[in-house]
Amino acid sequence: MALVRQSFRQHRPGERREQRISPVTAFNAFRSDPLGLFAGVAAAPDGVARTGAFGQQLLFITHPDQATHVLRDNHRNYTKDAPVYRAARPFLGSGLTVSPGGEDWLRRRRLVQPAFSRPTLASAVRITEECLSDLAGRWSVTAERSGTVDAAQEMSALSMRLACRILFGTELTDKTAAVAADLHVICDFVVRFLARPFPPLFVPTAANRRFHAARRRVRATIATLVAHPRTELIARLVADGESGGSTPDQVADELLGLFFAGHETLAHTLAWCWQLLSTHPAEASVLRNELDAVLGARPPALADLPALTYTRQVVDEAMRLYPAVWIMMRRARHADTIGGHPVAAGSWIAWSPYVGNRHPDVWPRPDDFWPERFTDPAGRGAAHHRDSLAPFGLGPRSCPGSNLAMAQACLTVATLAQRCRITPVLDTPARPDASITLRPAGRLPLRLTAW
C-alpha cells in the first residue's frame, strides 16, 4: 500500500482532491496486492484515484455512495464492457454474469428470472435441507471424536452439490472434486491474465494449456447435463435455443455462468462465516443461544429464518468483511460525474466492495466482526444507508438468485452451528485470496466438538 501512496500526484489547485497513479504502479500493485491497491486509494483524499490503462482512463472509487451511483442511480450509462469481465469471457462466454448489457441481456435475464421466483424457492430450499441433513450427520460424527474438517473444502463440496441439484437436477458426486479443481485453475488463471494479459491465449504456454484443458473439461460436464434436461430452467433455455432465440453455446454459457456464480459465492461466504465464528467464541455463543431458543432440538426450516435474526446478522457481517465479489468494473457509455469527479465517455470505473464495506464513515469499528451492528445504532455511521451493504449488487444487474443464496447461507450456518462447536486449528486466521472471488487462502482446518 505504501508503494501506491507514494505514486499519487495532486491535481491542480481548485480541482477535486483526486489522486493519480502511474499505469505501471497500478498494474504492479494489482498483480501483487489488489486489495492493498484499493485500500491505498481509500486512504487518499476523497477516496478516488485515476490512472490510464490501454489508452483508456480508469477511475478507482471506494465510497459506497459512489458505487450506488454507478450500479443503480445512473446504471443506464454503465455497461460491463470492462477488463475484469472481458478476462472471464473465454471461460464464461456471453452469459448474464459477464454480458455487457443491452436488449439481448434483458431478454435472457427475463428468461432466467423465473428459476429464482418465490414458487421455486421452496423446492430449492427442500433440496438444500436434504443436502444439509447429510452434511450435518457427518459433522456430528466428526464432532463426537473431536475431529477436524477443512471448512473451505467442505463448503465448496456442499455448494457445488446444491448448484448441480438445483440448476441441473442431478448429482455430480463422482466428479465434484475434479470440477472444483478445474474451477480453481480457471479462477487463478483469469485473475493473472487480467493483471498481465499476455502472452495471448492462443500461445501454447504451459499456463494457457492448463487453462484451456480445465475449461474444456468443465464445459463438457455442463454440455452433458444440458443434453438431458431435468429442470425447468434448462428446459426453458433449450427451448429458447431451439426457437432461434439462443445458440447452443449461449445456452451453455448461461448455465455455466449461473453454476459458477452460485457455487463460488456461496462456498466462500460460508467458509468466511466459519472462519469468523471459530475465532470469535462470544459471538458463536450468542448464535448458539438463538438457535436453542428458536429451534430447540429440531433442524431449521425456511419458515424459521425470520426469527433467526442473529443468524442472518452473522451472514451479513461475513459478507461485509469478506464479500465474495471483491471487485467490480463498468465502462461509461457517456460522460458523467461521480462525486464531483469527471468521467469521460469510454472510461472504466473500478471499485472493491472489500474496501467499500470497511469505510469508517459508514461502518464504525470497520474491521471488527460485530454482527449486532445491523440493529445497534452505534454499529452504523452517519454515512450509512440501506444500500451501503449490497453483497448481491444493486439495480437491474443485481443477482437474480439473491433470495435463494441468503436462505441457503442462513440455513447452513444454523444447521451446522446447532450440531457442534467450531474452533480454529491454526494460530493465525485465514487471509483473503483475491481470485475471481474472495476466498480463504489455502486450507481452512477447523476442529469440531460436541456441545
Cell output for 189: 488463471
**CATH number, domain containing residue 295:** 1.10.630.10
Q: Is residue 157 domain-resident?
A: yes
Could you tell me the CA-to-CA distances from 93 to 107, 132, 327, 380, 409 in Å, in that order?
17, 32, 19, 40, 28
pLDDT of residue 221: 85
Cell output for 181: 479443481
Closest by Cα among 325, 361, 342 to 43: 361
> Do 268 and 153 meet the contact criterion of CB atoms below 8 Å apart?
no
Largest CA-CA distance found in the chain, in angstroms, rounded: 67
Closest by Cα among 99, 132, 58, 170 to 304: 132
Q: Is residue 20 domain-resident?
A: no
d(CA 447, CA 21): 44
In this structure, are strands 148-150 and 78-79 parallel, antiparallel, or unpaired?
A: unpaired
DSSP H or E run through 404: helix 402-419
Angle (nearest 5°) at CA 195 between 193 and 197 = 45
Q: Is residue 280 domain-resident?
A: yes
Q: Is residue 40 domain-resident?
A: no
d(CA 187, CA 343): 30
0.85 exceeded by pTM: yes
Buried/exposed 310-343: b ≥16 CB within 10 Å, e otherwise = bbbbbbbbbbbbbbbbbbbbbbbeeebebeebeb
d(CA 55, CA 83): 13
pLDDT of residue 9: 45
Q: Is residue 175 domain-resident?
A: yes
Q: Is residue 251 domain-resident?
A: yes
Alpha helical stretches, state H, 322-389: 353-356
Cell output for 65: 455512495
Could you tell me the CA-to-CA distances from 11 to 21, 48, 216, 352 in Å, in that order?
12, 12, 48, 23
pLDDT of residue 15: 53
Give the domain extent around 323.
54-450
Cell output for 375: 440493529
Alpha helical stretches, state H, 228-338: 232-242, 248-278, 281-295, 309-321
d(CA 7, CA 24): 10
Could you tell me the CA-to-CA distances from 279 to 273, 310, 424 in Å, in that order?
10, 17, 6
Q: Is residue 28 domain-resident?
A: no
Considering its fold, how many domains does the chain have in total?
Answer: 1
pLDDT of residue 2: 45
Q: Count of CB atoms within 10 A of residue 42's CB?
A: 23
> Do 382 and 364 meet the contact criterion of CB atoms below 8 Å apart?
no
Closest by Cα among 308, 276, 274 to 289: 308
Residue whose entry in the numeric block shows the C-alpha cell 487480467? 194
For the chain, which ranges sit under pLDDT 70? 1-16, 173-174
pLDDT of residue 7: 46
Q: At what angle do helices 232-242 and 206-227 cross, to 10 degrees?
A: 100
Burial class (CB in 10 A: 0-12, 13-18, 19+), 201: middle
Q: Is residue 248 domain-resident?
A: yes
